[in-house]
Amino acid sequence: MAGIASLAKSSGHKVTGCDKNVYPPMSTQLKEQDITIIEGFNKDQVSLNPDIYIIGNVISRGNPLMEAILTKNLPFQSGPQWLYENILHEKWVLAIAGTHGKTTTTAMLTWILEYNKMAPGYLIGGIPTNFKSSARLPIETKKNVPSFFIIEADEYDTAFFDKRSKFIHYRPRTLILNNLEFDHADIFDNLEHIKKHFHHLIRILPQEGQIISNAESNALRETLDMGTWSEIEYFSDEKGWSYQINEGWHSLSISYKNKNQGILNWDLIGHHNASNALAAIAAAKHVGITPENAIEALSLFKGVKKRMEKIASYDNGINLYDDFAHHPTAIMTTLAGVKKTKLKGRIIAVIEPRSNTMKLGSMKKELINSLKDADKVYCYANNLSWNAKELFAHSQNVIVSDNIDLLANKIAQDQQNEDQIIFMSNGSFANIQTKVVTLLQ
């Protein structure tokens, strides 16, 4: 929603917005763009008298401002619908969908096009370090050249009045399918339900469009088997796009149909990021960028805020990272990547089971296994429908608390030289990162 607000502002509109909780990095971005943020949903906000209210999918019936909008019969629309009707409808849309890796892959692909002077528009669910903001309109370059727009395509529902997945509104020509697992237990019944929504998206791709799919995902193969009408390319597969590790994750040989396309030397780690890179290179090829030029661009890719973002480093070898991982698979992949690259020191995982899926306890058993590569775990158990202390009762290396200050102090007191401390949450995490940085200083 912050990105949509930025795009609306860039389009010449006066924009204000409200939310229950506002925190960096998005709150900082909005402030820099002179977009006023109002905390809370007071019904008196209708006195602003806007031309239209753009409603996010966290808003439900009973919200005081929404009830005032409905009572007064004021104009409103979902963010995805407004985005398509006002910005995307004449663009070549490249959409990145999947359970994990959407933000990073979207940022990678955007940077590849930017580096190759295609000046794309974009909307990313995070702030890429290579750019100043999470969203931008396309910049006109040459006449008779397609205008590209790259978008993170989420399967979550659109709004309380539109229960279709958000990505159905975007109508992409190039579609990356990163992976597909069960998530969002608050709106999907099971994996089959999610696959059905993904196939709704596949159904509206044009014949000259292209689907770029992860060959490692059986769920994606099953979804594609429901019917496709567009060209398909696979990655993480020797028959399509693949990679080999040269000397650690920082140097990868990229191949297409077993033919070498170049060496990618970069700062990112882990199979998940290597897989994301393959998808981005394949999508860039669909719009005319050579793999060689795409690899050159990715060698300068700096990552995304809150995606294994190093936030502090100390002389005794302790490093602190901020990461968005919250689904068990993402947590496992992140920790596995760190374990494979670190030379010495402990891996300390600090987790907040905050997503609706995790709060409902749908994947609490998977959470235990996802932490196997951590030497020590600190769990912030806040507003859960299940007992985290019971779940980790037999795990001697796990400390559970609903007191954020207690956890922060415990992390600082227990620290050892060379610790790699990773904070994993899809929210503000009650600002524990800053608390620990301050204590360690």
The reply to whether 249 and 118 lie within a common domain is yes
Give CA–CA dist 172/157, Å, rounded.
18
Give a yes or no: residue 222 inside a domain.
yes
Last residue of a domain, one of 52, 80, 108: 80
Q: Which domain, by its residues, includes 433?
A: 309-440
- What's the whole-number average pLDDT of the chain? 92
Specify the pLDDT at position 427.
81
User: Could you give phi then psi for residue 395, rounded to 5 degrees?
Assistant: -105, 105
The reply to whether 357 and 417 lie within a common domain is yes
Give a yes or no: residue 132 inside a domain.
yes
Give a yes or no: residue 304 inside a domain.
no
Please tell me the pTM assigned to this model: 0.79
Give a yes or no: residue 166 inside a domain.
yes
The reply to whether 207 and 352 lie within a common domain is no
The reply to whether 328 and 430 lie within a common domain is yes
The reply to whether 155 and 293 lie within a common domain is yes
The reply to whether 131 and 149 lie within a common domain is yes
The reply to whether 213 and 192 lie within a common domain is yes
What CATH number does the domain containing 321 carry?
A: 3.90.190.20
Give a yes or no: residue 303 inside a domain.
no
What CATH number does the domain containing 277 carry?
A: 3.40.1190.10
- Per-residue pLDDT tens digits for 311-369: 899 999 999 999 887 788 889 888 988 887 766 799 999 999 888 777 778 788 889 88
Last residue of a domain, one of 80, 100, 129: 80
Least confident among 6-15, 277-286, 340-349 = 340-349
Q: How many domains does the chain have?
A: 3
The reply to whether 279 and 332 lie within a common domain is no
The reply to whether 166 and 139 lie within a common domain is yes
| Residue located via tokens 């790259």 | 150
The reply to whether 65 and 176 lie within a common domain is no
Least confident among 45-54, 108-117, 171-180, 379-388 = 379-388
Tokens of 217: 């995902």
Specify the pLDDT at position 373.
93
Last residue of a domain, one of 31, 56, 80: 80
The percent of residues above 70 in pLDDT, for the chain, comes to: 98
- Per-residue pLDDT tens digits for 211-244: 999 999 999 999 999 999 999 999 998 889 999 9
The reply to whether 177 and 268 lie within a common domain is yes
What CATH number does the domain containing 8 carry?
A: 3.40.50.720
Specify the pLDDT at position 342.
64
Specify the pLDDT at position 66.
98
Give a yes or no: residue 334 inside a domain.
yes
Residues in the chain, overall count: 441
Give a yes or no: residue 282 inside a domain.
yes
CB atoms within 10 A of CB 424: 26
The reply to whether 293 and 314 lie within a common domain is no
Least confident among 91-105, 209-223, 274-288, 349-363 = 349-363
Measure the N-to-C terminal CA separation of the chain; round to a whole number of Å.
35
Give a yes or no: residue 385 inside a domain.
yes
Contact partners, residue 390, CB within 8 Å, separation at least 6: none
